[in-house]
């Protein structure tokens, strides 16, 4: 049975491992990594053990311990290039892809993405500081958020970062900060485009139940209001329709909606040179997933925006997009050590690993599916068994993969879970006071630590014990 991760979501114990169903194929399409299950540098060594970026995964575990996030530099760079080159190839005007850093925010990823010529979208002071310290030029950063604090806005304004105006509250806060900006504050305006995506269908409505952006009927009032704001400069418009989307039609329709808004904004005198269509391209988590390629996604949007502008007699804007998941997910592999085993006769066998919902909250949050193998036996063996991979947290729902097929695994063996580069580390927690994993970047046989492993003592750093509680009576 081959299910897509979207179809299977929320439908109980359906899951997939590489060995169940289709044959495991390391690597895959180097031009559009989001269509692969594994990083593009995945190979088997002479003994059939899995390597990524020229590094044997089980050897990384000996050096760095588990759980361990492994990031493949070649996959990350290939994905950045796929976005950049597709935009150049299919869009007749200027363009820029901005990495939606909420998917996985770190100094190392920022530096790589900046070196590949991309920009970045941040949604908090933390992501913004990571971007700036990681070397992303401020003029290539935008700050998003439906409830930005005055401090976050002040940081953006002081550093020359473009602010995406999300609501009237943003406007009021910015107006107070503007005198310190030393020039017009650069803004984009986010509105709800009335296109709602589900993974296998989408609907268009006038008003959407979304906390993000200006409602469509507020678009004209806010554009008119901004005409009178000498402190502001409206550089562009933004909309984002959803995430893990496999269809191209919603993005094609978005182009028309945004071109209408662009025409309105320009007719009121706003420069509006940029059109930012957000992110949302899906990736392959399990064998049954079949997302479009980056090239097809960019081409659809580029051609639709160009056509929509031509029809309306609008000068071509610079085309911006904001890929998050599709830029980093496939580059990431999480390694765990198998520990205890509990076989419930007639029910299922649980194998527990040394991480779980704190390093990957997606299964418990969204019933997300993943693919996993034993790092040293990725092709499986003659005898396979069905097991459920449980995390170590005090929560029955802390299950990473249900009913997957693996070679009989002893404690101490290394489990590799694929496509964990997006929304794993960034959504992680310290639940049960479990420290966060280390992360390494692998490239050409070299591994560089990019995130140090948190230690249990680190978790006490911000605790305060009032003196009156320490006196022993
Ligand atoms: C989450 C988000 C993105 C990235 O979405 P992906 O599905 O990860 O590509 C881009 N832009 C905005 C405004 C977002 O909220």
Give the residues of the chain that fall short of pLDDT 50: 1-16, 18-23
Specify the pLDDT at position 21: 39
Specify the pLDDT at position 439: 98
Specify the pLDDT at position 205: 65
Output the ligand 1 site: residues, CB below 6 A: 100, 102-103, 121, 144, 240, 243, 278-281, 322-326
In whole angstroms, give the CA distance from residue 393 to residue 111: 33
Q: HSE-up of 169 (CA within 13 Å, CB side)?
A: 10
Residue 193 Cα to ligand 1 middle (Å): 15
Spell out where 306-432 has E strands. 318-321, 332-344, 348-353, 372-374, 385-390, 399-406, 414-418
pLDDT digits (tens, 9 = 90+) for 15-71: 445 444 344 677 788 899 999 999 999 999 999 999 999 999 999 999 999 999 999
In whole angstroms, give the CA distance from residue 162 to residue 156: 7
- Ligand 1 atom nearest the C-alpha of 327 is 9
pTM: 0.94
Buried b (16+ CB within 10 A) or exposed e, 132-164: bebebebebbbbbbeebeeebbbbbbeeebbbb
Catalytic residues: 394
Specify the pLDDT at position 1: 33
Specify the pLDDT at position 2: 40
Task: Check if the beta carbon of residue 96 is closer than 8 Å to that of residue 123.
Answer: no
Domains, the chain, in order of start with CATH, read: 4-72+329-459 (2.40.37.10), 74-326 (3.20.20.10)
Residue 16 Cα to ligand 1 middle (Å): 26
Buried b (16+ CB within 10 A) or exposed e, 197-235: bebeebeeeeebeeebbbebeebeebbeebeebeebbbb
- Ligand 1 atom nearest the C-alpha of 144 is 13
């Amino acid at each position: 049975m081959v299910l897509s991760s979207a179809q299977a979501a929320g439908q109980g114990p359906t899951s997939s491992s590489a060995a169940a169903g289709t044959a495991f194929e390391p690597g895959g399409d180097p031009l559009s990594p989001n269509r692969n299950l594994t990083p593009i540098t995945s190979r088997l060594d002479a003994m059939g053990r899995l390597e990524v970026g020229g590094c044997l995964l089980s050897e990384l575990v000996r050096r760095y311990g588990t759980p361990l996030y492994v990031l493949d530099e070649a996959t990350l760079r290939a994905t950045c290039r796929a976005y950049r080159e597709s935009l150049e190839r299919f869009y007749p005007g200027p363009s820029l892809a901005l990495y939606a850093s909420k998917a996985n925010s770190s100094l190392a990823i920022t530096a790589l993405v900046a070196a590949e010529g991309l920009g970045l979208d941040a949604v908090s002071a933390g992501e913004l500081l990571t971007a700036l310290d990681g070397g992303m030029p401020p003029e290539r950063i935008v700050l998003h958020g439906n409830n930005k604090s005055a401090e976050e806005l002040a940081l953006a304004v002081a550093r020359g970062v473009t602010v995406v105006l999300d609501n009237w509250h943003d406007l009021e806060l910015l107006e107070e900060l503007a005198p310190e900006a030393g020039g017009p504050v650069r803004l984009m305006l986010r509105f709800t485009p009335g296109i709602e995506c589900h993974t296998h269908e989408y609907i268009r409505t006038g008003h959407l139940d979304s906390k993000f952006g200006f409602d469509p009927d507020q678009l004209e009032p806010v554009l008119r209001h901004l005409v009178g704001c000498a402190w502001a400069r409206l550089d562009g418009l933004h909309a984002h329709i959803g995430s893990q989307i496999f269809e191209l039609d919603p993005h094609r329709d978005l182009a028309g909606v945004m071109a209408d808004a662009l025409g309105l904004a320009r007719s009121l005198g706003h420069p509006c040179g940029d059109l930012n269509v957000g992110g949302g391209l899906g990736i392959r988590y399990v064998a049954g997933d079949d997302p479009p390629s980056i090239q097809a996604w960019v081409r659809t949007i580029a051609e639709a925006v160009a056509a929509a502008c031509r029809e309306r007699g609008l000068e071509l804007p610079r085309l911006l997009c904001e890929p998050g998941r599709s830029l980093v997910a496939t580059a990431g592999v999480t390694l765990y050590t198998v520990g205890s085993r509990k076989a419930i006769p007639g029910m299922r066998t649980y194998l527990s690993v040394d991480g779980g919902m704190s390093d990957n909250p997606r299964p418990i949050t969204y019933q997300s599916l993943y693919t996993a193998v034993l790092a040293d036996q990725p092709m499986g063996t003659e005898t396979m068994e069905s097991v459920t991979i449980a995390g170590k947290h005090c929560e029955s729902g802390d299950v990473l993969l249900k009913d997957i097929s693996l070679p009989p695994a002893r404690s101490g063996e290394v489990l590799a879970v694929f496509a964990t580069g997006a929304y794993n580390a960034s959504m992680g927690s310290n639940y049960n006071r479990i420290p966060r994993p280390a992360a390494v970047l692998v490239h050409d046989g070299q591994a560089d630590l990019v995130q140090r492993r948190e230690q249990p003592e680190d978790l006490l750093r911000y605790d305060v014990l009032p003196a009156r509680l320490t006196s022993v009576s």
